[in-house]
Amino acid sequence: MSDLPDYVLKNRAHWDAQADQWVAMGERAWLADEPSWGIWSIPETDLQLLPDDMTGMRTIELGCGTGYVSAWMARRGASVVGIDNSERQLATARRLAEEHGVELHLIHGNAEQVPFPDGHFDFAISEYGVAIWADPYKWIPEAHRVLAPGGGLVFLGNHPLVMITQRHDSADPVGTELLYPYFGMHRIDWYEDGDEGTEFNLTISDWVRLFNAVGFEIVAYHELQSPTTGDEVRFYASMDWAHTYPTEQVWVLRKRS
Ligand SMILES: C[S@@+](CC[C@H](N)C(=O)[O-])C[C@H]1O[C@@H](n2cnc3c(N)ncnc32)[C@H](O)[C@@H]1O
């Protein structure tokens, strides 16, 4: 019997099954000269989520998927650990690392429990990895534990507004009706049984309370907007919707010294 939580096992099965569909996107992102973020490809020059020079920094990507964010950090000089819950996603990351000649240390596991000692890393990041697929009451304290004092944590995922305006039982894009309670948001089982995966999100005030309780200071908070209007739908939102409301949030945190 595994001692992994039910949602970690379900998300593992979900991502192992989905992995083939993410190969092409991963390959494109690995080819990019400059990072861009989220579903609207906001350029790194606008958000500045990564230090320009990461020479000698010990970094970890929590839920690295196909590994392109890890590659961006390695190319800036960092030594990079990528941890992911899906062996099949890691297989893509391993192949791309080999093809691009980028050295990554890729490990299979639940990033709510990172197999490294306290204070081991200078920087941790998640783009749609644990940022949305793991329980923040577990992974945020764990990220704090493995960071050195002053270390940075950056994570990007869905804005909480999306969780209350997108049906949890269909693939329809977000609408303008408030479908679910905002207060109390935590675990979201897609299609109720979680067969399409289980995500987590918090109200903005609950995120802030959690950071304070764990020992992170907030350096920046971004609500991402589609730069253009139009009826093109990307993943779960049209450009018009995402030009009017935030689809994604980015938290930039620092471990208090
Ligand atoms: C959308 S991908 C994001 C990663 C990367 N940015 C990408 O697009 O390839 C989500 C990844 O999070 C991973 N994941 C989900 N839950 C996890 C957990 N508890 N620990 C580590 N990885 C997890 C999944 O296996 C999946 O590869």
Distance from Cα 14 to the centre of ligand 1, integer Å: 10
Please indicate, yes or no, if residue 129 is contained in any of the structural domains. Answer: yes
Residue 84 Cα to ligand 1 midpoint, Å, equals 6
Q: Looking at the domain assignment, is residue 171 inside a domain? A: yes
Average pLDDT, the chain: 97
Q: How many domains does the chain have?
A: 1
35 belongs to a structural domain: yes
111 lines ligand 1 (CB under 6 A): yes
Question: Separation of 65 CA from ligand 1 center, angstroms?
Answer: 5
Closest atom of ligand 1 to 128 CA is 3
Is residue 140 one of the residues assigned to a domain?
Answer: yes
Residues 93-144: tens digit of each pLDDT: 999 999 999 999 999 999 999 999 999 999 999 999 999 999 999 999 999 9
Report d(CA 18, CA 106) in Å as an integer: 19
Residue 199 lies in a domain: yes
Residues 181-189 have a mean pLDDT of 97
- Quick check: is 209 in a domain? yes
Q: Which of 10, 133, 200 to mutate to test the pocket of ligand 1 (most atoms within 8 A of CB)?
A: 133
pLDDT in tens, 34-57: 999 999 999 999 999 999 999 999
Which CATH number do you get for residue 158?
3.40.50.150
The boundaries of the domain holding residue 216 are 6-255
Angstrom distance (rounded) from CA 155 to CA 248: 10
Residue with tokens 């804005």: 159
Distance 64 CA to ligand 1 centre (A): 6
**Residue 70 CB less than 6 A away from ligand 1:** no
Q: Does ligand 1 lie within 6 Å of residue 80's CB atom?
A: no
Q: Which range among 59-63, 168-172, 224-228, 249-253 shows the weakest confidence by mean pLDDT? A: 168-172
Q: Decide whether any atom of ligand 1 lies within 6 Å of the 143 Cβ.
A: no
Mean pLDDT calculated for residue range 132-157: 98
Mutate to test the pocket of ligand 1, among 2, 6, 15, 125 (most ligand atoms within 8 A of CB): 15
| Beta partners for residue 29, in sequence order | none
Confidence band, pLDDT 50/70/90 cuts, at residue 81: very high
Residue 1 lies in a domain: no
The type of residue at 113 is Q
Identify the pLDDT of residue 171.
Answer: 87
Rounded to an integer, what distance in angstroms lies between the CA atom of residue 175 and that of residue 172? 8
Beta carbons within 10 angstroms of residue 16's beta carbon: 15
